[in-house]
Amino acid sequence: MQIDVIDPKKTAMIVVDMQNDFVAPGAAMETPAARAVVPRLTEALKICRDAGIKIIYTAHVHRRDGSDMGLFDDMHAPIAKRAALVDGTPGVEIYPELAPAPGEHVIKKHRYSGFYGTDLDMILREWGVDTVIISGTTTENCCHATARDAMFRNYRVAFLSDATATYDYPDRGFGAMPNAEVHHATLVILADSTAHVMSVTDMKARICT
């Protein structure tokens, strides 16, 4: 996918899951690399807001009673213990440095993709959006899933290489992978199959004014 021109009137930036439970120091699901991209993401948000590009956030949350949990109990211990991503707690709020501006929406989701079981698609279509810019965490899970679902719905996808991030992967029988390798591999896959992977600087250069 190639995106030569980004039309602000038809574009929305999706900030995926930049919540306290992922970004804040010492959080239950802390992702240090996500905190490291906060300055770059802040820059991207300013660029988009100044250009008139709409911003929409996602927040991964679960009810404390587990009624929307699915298989996450089996995959992530902090979620199973209700130590992270519990709806209504400070941990699910957007990291303060990236707080939504007045009028910007936060979409609550219960799966990796921002489109699954939410009204994100409805909102984007109401806005007349045909292009989405993906940022946030984690590169290979929630950002990737949201990008894929956007492409499946015929949105053009710009995926920000330096405003997305992930965590180190432990050895589950196939060897461990540091976050930089996971991030790089995901960008390579997305660039070939799903999105135009670009830096924040590239994004800015492609926005028509």
Mean pLDDT of all residues in 112-131: 98
Tokens representing residue 38 in the block: 């906060």
pLDDT over 80 (residue 209): no
State residue 176's pLDDT score: 97
Q: Which residue has the higher pLDDT, 80 or 189?
A: 189
Proportion of the chain above pLDDT 70, given as a percent: 100
Residue type, 9: K
Where does the pLDDT of residue 171 fall: very low under 50, low under 70, confident under 90, or very high at 90 and above?
very high
Q: What distance in Å separates the CA atoms of residue 18 and residue 137, rounded to the nearest whole number?
A: 6
Tokens representing residue 47 in the block: 């660029």
Per-residue model confidence as pLDDT tens digits over 24-35 = 999 999 999 999
pLDDT over 90 (residue 77): no
Where does the pLDDT of residue 83 fall: very low under 50, low under 70, confident under 90, or very high at 90 and above?
confident
State residue 28's pLDDT score: 93
State residue 74's pLDDT score: 85
Report pTM.
0.97
Residues in contact with 198: Cβ distance below 8 Å, sequence separation at least 6, in sequence order: 3, 158, 159, 160, 161, 206
Per-residue model confidence as pLDDT tens digits over 28-55 = 999 999 999 999 999 999 999 999 999 9
State residue 96's pLDDT score: 97
Q: What distance in Å separates the CA atoms of residue 133 and residue 203, rounded to the nearest whole number?
A: 9
State residue 73's pLDDT score: 85
Q: What distance in Å separates the CA atoms of residue 21 and residue 53, rounded to the nearest whole number?
A: 27
Q: What distance in Å separates the CA atoms of residue 133 and residue 51, rounded to the nearest whole number?
A: 13
Proportion of the chain above pLDDT 90, given as a percent: 93
Domains and CATH numbers, the chain: 8-60+94-206 (3.40.50.850)
